[in-house]
Amino acid sequence: MSEYPNRPSRVNQNPNRPDPAIQRGAAHLASLGPRAIEEFLVELVVAFNCRKEITRRLMDYQRITPAMLAATGGDKQVPILWRAA
């Protein structure tokens, strides 16, 4: 059983494979600024009872600087490569 029983199952199980819907949503959310991001995170906390996990990951991300991301290309979204099935 999942650690978070209310969490919907993920169609894309490979975390290294970009998910277009998540990429578009993340880009839009980032463009709205810190308040929208905070409200989104609070909604996740309420929906999935995951305050500790969200707080821990936010603390991890606070160690990252914009310069670190730029130096490693982490400031750009991963391109989505489409293949014919």
For residue 26, give both structure tokens.
């993340």
Name the nearest CA neighbour of 53 among 2, 3, 1.
3
**What pLDDT score was predicted for residue 72?**
94
Evaluate whether residue 10 is within a structural domain.
no
> pLDDT at position 27, please?
93
In a domain, 6, yes or no: no
Give the domain range for residue 55.
Answer: 20-72
- Give, for 37, the enclosing helix (H) or strand (E): helix 34-48
Q: Is 34 a member of any domain?
A: yes
pTM: 0.70
pLDDT score of 1: 47
Q: Does the residue 49 lie in any domain?
A: yes
pLDDT in tens, 12-69: 456 667 788 899 999 999 999 999 999 999 999 999 999 999 999 999 999 999 999 9
Q: Domain total for the chain?
A: 1
